[in-house]
């Protein structure tokens, strides 16, 4: 059932939609995965999007909705009544996905949809999930899970599991709880398959279990799931009671989002944009760095203006070189620290040790660069005053930029500010300006 | 069993190791997860690393080995004989992990270790896994899996599964095959739990299944697993026979690696380095971009040198601004395209459409920047010749840099070269130089 999205397929579907051959389309897509139908919907125009979405059964359309991009999702939800949303879509979703959809609605519509949900348990679950902060473990959690009592026999356990699995798509893990619903451990399918029917769960369950508390940061959840190679992790409240579970597919989304945020920061893009977002969104995401860079450039111009360039006009030739190198080195240093912080690998090491090492790297890099500059500018026929000024400045600039690039993300991290902020506009511009200042200071000394 | 790595713990363990209290340490760490023991080992000095690693049982030490960083892993493997590696470590690992470890050994040691593996099946599995290219689906695959024949009854199925699970850590999925081992579908645990013992698998299995072929690129595997929210995906050979499975935890590693590679490229770091790598490694990863930047800067100097600056000395003040803005805009444009390509979201759209949109964004951004430059330089008292030249150049530079930043990654992608290459050194330097050239061209025209 592997699927290929082609231009021909889209054209074919658009034609059929125009001819109103809905039955044919429905039949054709019967075997398609909701994610594939979503990718088809993305390629259609708004009117066709709605028509196509409407032809599927409630259960399937609920799954398709989940796979749509926010913009398209909103468009489709706008065209449905609160009753339709509740009965066709929400009631067919697991609690975490249902909450995700409802949280995107306006306050009034949210209340209306909640009041239309007929399954009392689900409405209760959704209401409780809606209370979590979007960065908390609770916000990633689903309420549906399989749990068995520690005092049950294997036989009863299998019977109860049959009942519980009716409401659940996939069984990831079987949790073991006591009479107060306190999480005690897990039961492996393997053990269950191999045990006698009369054995008590207590004798075969595994009490070593990782769990997260409902209010910890979602990034910590992803670090745990990754570190321990888990597929699912249970969530407990502050009394240790089992209240939900987080699956790895939601965590993969978190990992991708975090990586994308860091990448955007490093590339000077201030909010997450996709290449198919509209022009206003893309401009809004890009203009802040450009303006910071612009101000940096103007400050740089003022610094150059202070110096009497006319006497040593050749010094002006190298200003872009000095500025660029300062920026480049700063970004490299900051990027290494930001990645180290993100992967939790530099927790225990001291800042002094980090800075000293960075200083050594900077020294090696700056010596290599200086020698190159001296040789090349000598060959190009510049005077010794010029190449000494340029190479000495370059050395000082590289060292300063390294120290800045290393320490700023560490300082930001210490004060709980996202260290990735230091990789983009800030560090490049600061180092550009600092570089020019050092350059003309040294130039003034050597060439006066 | 949640774990916290503290300085006190490390000090405590180091002291105990010094006193040779190995029994105490072993007892203390009995409940620790291998990943946590690995994180402790990382914080010890080389001698202690070896001592601590040696105290655990074969099974546990095999799992710890998997969690160690490459450098530490190599160090520990060097101190073990081929026989020890085979019997203590490899035989206790699943085929994918075992292959991963063996692939890091030297050719001679590899052969020795393979010859010491007593489990014939495992040796065969590892040998076959070693043949895959490191970027292929096959390289992520494990051979261990649960499969049942389509003609079996539920009762026989459960009995056979009991046998098969003996060699497997976690059961992710139950695969259904025919007599020729051709993959036909999956059997859900839910269905198995709810079926009668006498039912035939054929009646309850699910024939809709996603699978990958052994030789496709591993990035495609991660795209599929993510898109369809899978936890595991079966791997088939070119005859459709079931030969292995890939689990999501391995795919998470691929996702993280790819994200890190792109991030490094965007930050001018040419190979994956960690902040605790040694100075030579970090320098080697950073110097290429610096040298490219250096040459760019020198070419920039030559361009400036062509122009008679003395007559219009103020023009020199703005060279860093022009160069920086060109670089910034280019990196932004390239980053958006690289992310779009990575998430597969711009497959169907045409390059012309992308370029046109980018052009519009560039136009909006450049107009905003130009107006700002005019106002500020006017207030700072620069002559109209200067601010007209600077703002007009800025506009042209922003537009050119956008076109370059958008088209270069698209072109690289077309020729199967990693488009992320365009985000780092290349695009910034090219745009720096191009920017300066445009600036002085315009300056020459206006100020002659």
- DSSP string across A306-369: HS-GGGGHHHHHTHHHHHHHHHHHHHHHHHHHHHHHHTTTTSSS-HHHHHHHHHHHHHHHHHHH
pLDDT at B347 over 60: no
The Cα of B132 is separated from the nearest Cα of chain A by a number of Å equal to 22
In this prediction, residue B432 carries a pLDDT of 87
Q: Are B262 and B272 in contact (CB under 8 A)?
A: no
For residue A216, what are the CA distances in angstroms to A7, A138, A237, A344?
45, 8, 11, 16
Chain B segment 83-102 residues within 8 A of A by beta carbon are none
Q: Average pLDDT of chain A?
A: 87
Pairing of strands A242-247, A232-236: antiparallel
Return the higher-pLDDT residue of A110 and A166.
Answer: A110
Q: How confident is the model at residue A241 (pLDDT cuts 50, 70, 90)?
A: very high
DSSP secondary structure, B290-321, as one string: HHHHHHHHHHHHHHHHHS-GGGGHHHHHTHHH
Helix axes B248-266, A218-227, angle to 10 degrees: 120
* B311 close to A (CB below 8 A): no
The Cα–Cα gap between B304 and B286 comes to 27
Q: Which residues of chain B does A364 touch, with a Cβ-Cβ cutoff of 8 Å?
A: 279, 283
For residue A130, what are the CA distances in angstroms to A133, A168, A250, A253?
8, 20, 17, 19
Q: Dump pLDDT digits (tens) for B311-324.
A: 788 888 898 899 88
The Cα of B275 is separated from the nearest Cα of chain A by a number of Å equal to 6
* A311 close to B (CB below 8 A): no
Q: Dump pLDDT digits (tens) for B154-172.
A: 999 988 888 887 766 677 7
What is the average per-residue pLDDT within B387-399? 92
Return the higher-pLDDT residue of B207 and A170.
Answer: B207
The Cα of B362 is separated from the nearest Cα of chain A by a number of Å equal to 8
pLDDT at B416 over 90: no
* B32 close to A (CB below 8 A): no
Q: Dump pLDDT digits (tens) for A106-133.
A: 999 999 999 999 888 889 999 999 999 9
| Interchain proximity B268–A328, CB inside 8 Å | yes
Q: Which residues of chain B does A316 touch, with a Cβ-Cβ cutoff of 8 Å?
A: 304, 309, 313, 316, 319
Testing the interface with B: which of A267, A344, A383 to mutate, by most B Cβ within 10 A? A267
Nearest to B297 among A249, A320, A429 (CB): A320
DSSP A105: S
Q: From the CA atom positions of chain B, what is the Rg in Å?
A: 30
For the ranges A190-194, A375-379, B180-184, which has the lowest average pLDDT? A190-194
Helix axes B120-130, B95-102, angle to 10 degrees: 60
Q: By CA distance, what is B379's nearest residue in A?
A: A298
The Cα of A263 is separated from the nearest Cα of chain B by a number of Å equal to 6
The Cα of B201 is separated from the nearest Cα of chain A by a number of Å equal to 17
Torsion of CA A351, A354, A360, A361, to 10 degrees: -140
In this prediction, residue A7 carries a pLDDT of 85
| Interchain proximity B346–A276, CB inside 8 Å | yes
Q: Dump pLDDT digits (tens) for B32-70.
A: 999 999 999 988 888 889 899 999 988 899 999 999 988
For chain A, which domains are there? Answer: 7-131 (1.25.60.10), 146-248 (3.10.580.10), 279-447 (1.10.357.20)
Q: Are A228 and B33 in contact (CB under 8 A)?
A: yes
Q: How confident is the model at residue B309 (pLDDT cuts 50, 70, 90)?
A: confident
Residue with tokens 């001819």: A19
In this prediction, residue B383 carries a pLDDT of 86
Q: How confident is the model at residue A346 (pLDDT cuts 50, 70, 90)?
A: low
* A32 close to B (CB below 8 A): no
Q: Are B62 and B84 in contact (CB under 8 A)?
A: no
In this prediction, residue B268 carries a pLDDT of 81
In this prediction, residue B169 carries a pLDDT of 67
Containing B254, the helix (H) or strand (E) segment is helix B248-266
pLDDT at B350 over 70: no
Beta bridge partners of A183: A177
* Cα angle value A13/A17/A19 (rounded, 5°): 120
Q: How confident is the model at residue B151 (pLDDT cuts 50, 70, 90)?
A: very high
In this prediction, residue A46 carries a pLDDT of 84
pLDDT at A93 over 60: yes
């Amino acid at each position: 059932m592997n699927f290929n999205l082609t231009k021909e397929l889209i054209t074919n579907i658009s034609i059929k939609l125009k001819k109103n051959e809905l039955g044919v389309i429905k039949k054709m897509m019967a075997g398609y995965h909701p994610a594939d139908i979503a990718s088809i919907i993305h390629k259609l125009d708004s009117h066709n999007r709605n028509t196509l979405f409407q032809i599927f059964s409630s259960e399937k359309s609920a799954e398709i909705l989940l796979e749509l991009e926010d913009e398209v999702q909103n468009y489709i939800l706008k065209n449905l009544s609160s009753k339709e949303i509740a009965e066709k879509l929400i009631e067919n979703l697991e609690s975490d996905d249902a909450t995700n959809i409802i949280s995107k609605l306006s306050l009034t519509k949210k209340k209306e949809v909640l009041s239309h949900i007929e399954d009392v348990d689900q409405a209760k679950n959704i209401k409780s999930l809606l209370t979590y902060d979007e960065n908390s473990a609770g916000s990633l959690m689903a309420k549906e899970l399989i749990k068995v009592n520690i005092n049950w026999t294997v036989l009863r356990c299998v019977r109860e599991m049959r009942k519980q699995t009716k409401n659940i798509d996939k069984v990831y893990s079987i949790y073991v709880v006591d009479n107060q619903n306190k999480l005690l451990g897990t039961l492996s399918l393997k053990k269950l398959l191999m045990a006698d029917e009369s054995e008590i769960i207590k004798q075969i369950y595994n009490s070593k279990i990782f769990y997260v508390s409902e209010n910890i940061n979602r990034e910590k959840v992803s670090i745990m799931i990754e570190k321990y190679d888990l597929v699912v992790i249970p969530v407990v409240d502050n009394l240790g009671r089992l209240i939900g579970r987080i699956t790895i597919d939601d965590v993969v989304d978190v990992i991708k989002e975090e990586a994308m945020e860091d990448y955007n920061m490093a590339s000077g893009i201030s909010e997450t944009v996709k290449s198919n977002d509209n022009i206003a969104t893309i401009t809004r995401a890009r203009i802040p760095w450009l303006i910071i860079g612009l101000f940096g450039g103007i400050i740089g111009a003022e610094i150059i203006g202070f110096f009497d360039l006319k006497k040593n006009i050749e010094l002006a030739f190298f200003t872009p070189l000095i500025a660029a190198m300062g920026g480049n080195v700063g970004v490299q240093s900051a990027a290494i620290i930001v990645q180290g912080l993100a992967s939790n690998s530099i927790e225990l090491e001291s800042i002094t040790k980090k800075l000293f090492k960075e200083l050594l790297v900077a020294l090696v890099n700056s010596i290599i660069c200086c020698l190159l500059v001296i040789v090349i500018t000598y060959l190009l026929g510049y005077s010794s005053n010029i190449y000494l000024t340029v190479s000495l400045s370059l050395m000082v600039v590289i060292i300063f930029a390294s120290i800045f690039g290393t320490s700023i993300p560490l300082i930001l991290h210490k004060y709980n500010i996202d260290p990735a902020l230091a990789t983009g506009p800030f560090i490049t511009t600061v180092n550009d300006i600092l570089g020019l200042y050092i350059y003309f200071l040294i130039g003034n000394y050597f060439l006066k």
